[in-house]
Amino acid sequence: MNTENITSAALSNFWGSQEFYRHWISRSLVYTEGCEFLNATLKVNLEKKSAVLIFDDGNDNVLAKQEIGYTNFPLPEIVFYVESNGEGKTMMLTSER
Rg (CA), the chain: 14
Which pLDDT does position 31 carry in this prediction? 92
Which pLDDT does position 73 carry in this prediction? 82
Question: pLDDT, tens digit, for every residue of 9-45?
Answer: 888 888 877 888 888 778 889 999 988 888 777 655 5
Residue 58 to residues 3, 33, 52, 55, 74, Cα–Cα distance (Å): 27, 22, 17, 9, 24
CB 21 within 8 A of CB 36: yes
pTM for the full predicted model:
0.69
Question: pLDDT, tens digit, for every residue of 38-96?
Answer: 877 765 555 667 888 888 877 888 888 888 888 878 888 888 888 899 989 998 998 98
